[in-house]
Structure 1
Amino acid sequence: MSLSAVGKTPTEIWASILSLLLRTPLLPRDDVTIAESLAVFSNGCDADRLYRDLCRISVSLRLVCSSWDRLVQRIHPTVVIANLNTNYVEELPAHVLPALSMEGKSRPELLKAQRLAIWTPFECSCGQECRSGLPSHTADPLRRMKKPTGLLNPFDPAQDLSRLEVFIFGSYGGLKSPVPLLDRAPNLRVLSWAVEWRDAYFEPPIHHRVHNNLTHLKISLRWDHIYSLKSPIPFHNLRFLHLSISDRISGEEYVATLRKPNDLGLENWAEFPILQRLHLSLCVDELQQRKDDLVAFLTAVGTNLSSLIYNVSYDRSIWFEPEFWDLFPSLVEFGLYDHLILTRWELSPPPKTMKPLNLIYQFSDYAHPSVDETPDNTVLDQFISLCKRWRTEKMTILQPWRDAEIMMAEPIDDRSEYEIGTHVEFYERLVALGVVISDRDGVSIREPAGQRFLEALKEYEPKRLAEEQRRRESWEYLMAECGDEEGDENGEDEDELVRIFMGD
């Protein structure tokens, strides 16, 4: 293209091109995988790295010419991270606003925000000193002091937040209702209620009209919250749902949660006419008694689902029977959150009438053997065999290769013996099988970032194997000290000891 042609290109065309280059998982998009959908809810270090990547690209584009500089400044996605607790102002990272308001008015940065995340002290779980959390030498004394919350009506900004698309809220503490903020965010598309609702905090926010406009929602509920609703909540535009349901009660209180006084249950507490991607997490004590609820819910939403990640704290075989695959005729992605498909309760593979599923997993995922492990039939052998039965063609990790590489600098996980994803052979044998392995961003393991990950894994694996051997020898010594006779008499205690020792 000639220079004259470049000069004649309309500004709107350049804005569209630069917008593609500045595209980030921190803002919602519809044409994405479930791994990319989860990235929109990133917080702490994950979100911080994504935003710094965006800023680096932005700076590079601005240096090209003055026209691009002006355009990039105009269209650059604006991310704001704000503190709500006045006790931690002096300890704030430099990139965190001390408050949402200033002298009774919204801060100028907030008015431009497309993404607003609330900074919560002590919650970063990256295991390292970082920009997003408090340094350990600062955080530890603050934890011990147990200061009061010190919150000052944070959800009462003076002006409308018309540009706000994403609101990531990590903790309630002593906060007042967020309804005033929701009233001022008419274009909100992504909402994360990342912690479980308190009873007094459930209504009226859950009935706020903003939910009808959302495309992405992350929410944690209890069964009694669902049964307390007087009418279904409309989510007419929701495409991705990250739903966690807990049931940590027992006795008469648990029995009460099995009742449906208003005929609303999991299958009809909300309306999801175009839901495409679902991350369902259940912490349920009596899963068998909830089976009908689960089946009814999956029947209601399963027809349009293209992606499903299921996380359950008990035996999946109770509910995931072979005929359940029929509920998901459009499914192309499937995962079990913190397990690979090889578990001690092996799931039936999808029928051959379905297309092979792209399996979603986390780096360091572990897999219990479905049969006894022997030198000639290792956990990895069993997994490869299962991949053949599942006709596996693609696998995607939920992290970028770079993040998985960073994880290997952290201490060895207590469950590393089961984590076949930390074996170089795991990736080599899958590639030899013809399986395409990619990270969250679609980067193949054969590309430079994937190869750097494998090189780091080759250095990490011997350290992990040495730690496994140390733990195995310690375990054998402990069992020898206990004695066979005592172990036979206390089988249940021994089983509990195994679980504690192995971190399972």
Structure 2
Amino acid sequence: MNESAWFRTPLEVWEVIFRMALNSPLLPTPNDDLFDSTKIFMPQCDSYATYLSMVRFTTNLRRVCRSWDLSIRSFKSWELVVLNLYRFETGSRPKHVLYRPSAEVFPSCTERLEIHSFHCGTFASGTNSECKFGRLCRYSLRLAPVVFTMENSNGPPTITYQPGNCFSTVQVLLIRNYISRDSLHAFLDFTKSLKALEISFSIFEPSMNSTVHHYALKRVTHLKLSTSQKDIYTLKRQAWFPYMRYLHLTISEFSVNVQSSHGNNISNWGSFPQLCSLHLCCTIPEELVSDIYGFIEHCGSNLSDLVLQVNVKPAWGPTARPLRILPQLYICAPKLSRFGSGIGTFLQSPLLPPSTFLPINIILPPITSPAEIDGTKIDSFIASFVKVCRRWHTREVRFLQSWKDLELSTTGNATFRGSYDLDGMIVVGMPWIHKACNPYAYFRFYDAILKYGIMIRDCDGIPITKASGRDFLTARKRSAIQQIIDGRRTPPWL
């Protein structure tokens, strides 16, 4: 690089360039939309692979010249740290334990902390599926178990993990393993920079009522929360999240007989004055549908991105059906510009929005269960989906997955674990979802959308007409041809 050109460029310009180049999707920013926010909570192997990619990219920039090396080193670097807080069974649990990590575990620049087991992925439907990175998965190879030292051996009985002041730089805290209430509160007590949090109250010891009012959550802008109806109903007062911009909420264990002791219910348990993106997952009794719409309305008038993976269980019969889109949705979210839901929702052809509404673009989340596509005829779905696009004047259809992930899943070359343990959501491509029922695997699905001038993009915003999108379609075509050769089924484009 010409040194004179370097010195002629104002320092402020280089600072902006470097900050843009070194920005990581694993850390939150004030301008994150729903897709940016979803990447913050990406599964463990994806996050580690993304982190390694950022390290390689930064290293390559520093090799350009000495000036770039000095400038990039002057920026605050950051580290991803993964901890495994061992869960002791009742019979072997020490009575007096306080765990502290070794000094090198928490460098001063730690900004993302993930707490979960070190094995890659989870068990789903009795099948231990492989990581999509296959033998290239470096998660368990690169991260060794953390060594803890035992202290406070003569103190009161406790299983508290105490992170210390070195935890104050962490912006993202993802808890995907067992953790005691005291340990969780010890983490939150030391947070000074926390912006994104993932926690499940449905499988962990801490109660929602004892944690949701913690002062650290008042600063959080991105939250992925798994809880139960009972936890919400037992809140003593409404939770307040003044800076929350993105919320991924999973609610489980619904019952129409549960009574709220303090007046809190699904519709009013929290206040989100700045919420822009909401991803809601649950299966609810038919009697509580109004609470779901009440919650959407209570989220505030700033809601622009909405994904509803909501099934409704009727009073009679075991089969749940997708939530029907009522005209009330347009009243609850007057600034709605992007809407996502399962396949069954689009089969119901929602009513036209008011004339004052801007075009509503569509988000396609992963298929979460065989029941979602059971009995669905591909042609019926495509016709209904296109009808919805025309009614909403849709200009863009966007997946919550990348083209590479869709390529691997629809061709059957890999399976994905998703977040099965935390929210019951498993991404498309699991072995028990047959490709014959998956509209994302058919060419005519994409042709029908493109025919009306609607752009199709993946989670990274890459159009299907670009290289990675074409690779996805090409790989799908090869897989279909191979199936014809094997005599297993007819080609999907017929």
The question of a shared fold, defined as TM-score above 0.5 by the shorter chain, is answered with yes
Q: Tell me the residue number matched to 1:395.
A: 397
Q: Tell me the residue number matched to 2:40.
A: 40
How far 1:323 moved relative to its partner?
3.1
Measured against aligned partners, the alpha-carbon deviations of 1:150-193 in whole angstroms (never above 9, x if no partner) come to xx957312324332111111122567431112111111000011
Q: Tell me the residue number matched to 1:335.
A: 340
Counterpart among 114, 117, 120 of residue 117 in structure 2: 120
**How many percent identity over aligned positions?**
26
Q: Tell me the residue number matched to 1:404.
A: 406
Q: Tell me the residue number matched to 2:246.
A: 240
The one-letter amino acid paired with 2:31 is D
Unaligned runs of 5+ in 2: 89-98, 123-128, 142-157, 313-319, 416-430
Q: Tell me the residue number matched to 1:499.
A: none
Say which SS state the counterpart of residue 161 (structure 2) adopts: coil
**Structure 2: how far apart are the matches of 1:215 and 1:456?**
38
**Structure 2: how far apart are the matches of 1:77 and 1:463?**
47
Q: Tell me the residue number matched to 1:300.
A: 298
Q: Does 1:435 align with 2:469?
A: no
**Structure 1: how far apart are the matches of 2:376 and 2:240?**
48
The one-letter amino acid paired with 1:448 is A
**Structure 2: how far apart are the matches of 1:463 and 1:173?**
47
Q: Tell me the residue number matched to 1:280.
A: 280
Say which SS state the counterpart of residue 265 (structure 1) adopts: coil
Alignment of 1:356-367 (within 5 A): 356-362=359-365
Q: Tell me the residue number matched to 1:495.
A: none
Q: Tell me the residue number matched to 1:60.
A: 60
Q: Residues 165, 318 of structure 1: CA spacing in aligned structure 2 closer, same or farther, 3 A cutoff?
A: closer
Q: Tell me the residue number matched to 2:151.
A: none
Q: Tell me the residue number matched to 2:165.
A: 159
**Structure 2: how far apart are the matches of 1:55 and 1:63?**
13
How far 1:339 moved relative to its partner?
2.8
**Structure 2: how far apart are the matches of 1:127 and 1:468?**
27
Q: Tell me the residue number matched to 1:321.
A: 326
Q: How many aligned positions are there? A: 430
Alignment of 1:78-477 (within 5 A): 78-85=78-85, 101-102=101-102, 106-107=103-104, 109-122=106-119, 124=121, 127-128=130-131, 129=134, 131=137, 155-172=161-178, 176-194=182-200, 196=202, 198=204, 200-247=206-253, 255=257, 257=258, 259-284=259-284, 286=285, 288-314=286-312, 320-336=325-341, 338-339=342-343, 341-343=345-347, 345-362=348-365, 378-407=380-409, 408=411, 409-410=413-414, 413-463=432-482, 469=488
Say which SS state the counterpart of residue 64 (structure 1) adopts: coil
Q: Tell me the residue number matched to 2:146.
A: none
Asked if the contact 2:338/2:360 (under 8 Å) is kept, the reply is: yes
**Structure 1: how far apart are the matches of 2:180 and 2:485?**
46
Q: Residues 423, 67 of structure 1: CA spacing in aligned structure 2 closer, same or farther, 3 A cutoff?
A: same
TM-score (normalised: structure 2) = 0.77
**Structure 1: how far apart are the matches of 2:485 and 2:359?**
37
The structure with more helix, counted as a fraction of residues: 1
Say which SS state the counterpart of residue 356 (structure 2) adopts: coil
How far 1:364 moved relative to its partner?
6.3
Q: Residues 48, 219 of structure 1: CA spacing in aligned structure 2 closer, same or farther, 3 A cutoff?
A: same
Q: Residues 127, 369 of structure 1: CA spacing in aligned structure 2 closer, same or farther, 3 A cutoff?
A: closer
**Structure 2: how far apart are the matches of 1:220 and 1:383?**
30
Say which SS state the counterpart of residue 107 (structure 1) adopts: helix
Q: Tell me the residue number matched to 1:479.
A: none
The one-letter amino acid paired with 1:460 is S
How far 1:22 moved relative to its partner?
1.5
The one-letter amino acid paired with 2:110 is A
How far 1:116 moved relative to its partner?
1.0
The one-letter amino acid paired with 1:397 is F
The one-letter amino acid paired with 1:22 is L
Pick 1 or 2: higher relative contact order, CA cutoff 8 A, min separation 6.
Answer: 2
How far 1:66 moved relative to its partner?
1.9
Q: Residues 101, 368 of structure 1: CA spacing in aligned structure 2 closer, same or farther, 3 A cutoff?
A: closer
**Structure 2: how far apart are the matches of 1:356 and 1:52?**
38
The one-letter amino acid paired with 1:228 is T
**Structure 2: how far apart are the matches of 1:305 and 1:42?**
22
The one-letter amino acid paired with 1:117 is E
How far 1:440 moved relative to its partner?
1.2
Q: Residues 230, 465 of structure 1: CA spacing in aligned structure 2 closer, same or farther, 3 A cutoff?
A: farther
**Structure 1: how far apart are the matches of 2:360 and 2:389?**
11
Unaligned runs of 5+ in 1: 89-98, 136-151, 472-504
